[in-house]
Structure 1
């Protein structure tokens, strides 16, 4: 059984995860100047936090570990959304 924290705590850490993902996207957009294929970027941005977060959630034995796993899992959509917004705004 997965130990779940309170709903307000879970929602809060997921909002923090989305914000961290957005900040990571801005940092990556500024720092990375190499041309990277879009499918590789989507795979890394969604896949890596998704796999790490799901593993943490599934293997957790404490509520706080589940919360951290949910935060890591929420980094992916924030990162992807911010990268998408940057692409659209730049007109490339």
Structure 2
């Protein structure tokens, strides 16, 4: 049985791999800077599970919704950058905890 073709309604428009990797690196860098800035600015005691949920959850939800709703390649790249903020921020917070001996 021969397959005549695949019918696809809509797909997520992907930018070139180098562009996608570049914006994700920028997103991780933004996340690291945001994590360090938040640590310096916030002096209140916050539960660690709440911080992890906010730091990883909020950028993940916003980034995934942006990617899924994108109609252009640059919007997909923006969503990938927002999605990459979470791991960068979390990494900065983890590095600060390790360096402080907590």
TM-score normalized with structure 1 length: 0.99
Which residue matches 1:30? 40
Which residue matches 1:88? 98
Report 1:38-77 matches (<5 A).
38-77=48-87
1:6-36 CA-partner distances (Å, limit 9, x unpaired): 0000000000000000000000010000000
Gap runs ≥5 in structure 2: 1-10
Task: Give distance in 2, aligned partners of 1:81 and 1:25.
Answer: 8
**How far did residue 47 of structure 1 move?**
0.1
Bigger fraction of residues in helix:
1
Gap runs ≥5 in structure 1: none
How many residues were matched structurally? 92
**CA RMSD, aligned part only?**
0.3
Q: Which has the higher contact order (CA 8 A, sep 6+)?
A: 1
Structure label with greater radius of gyration: 2
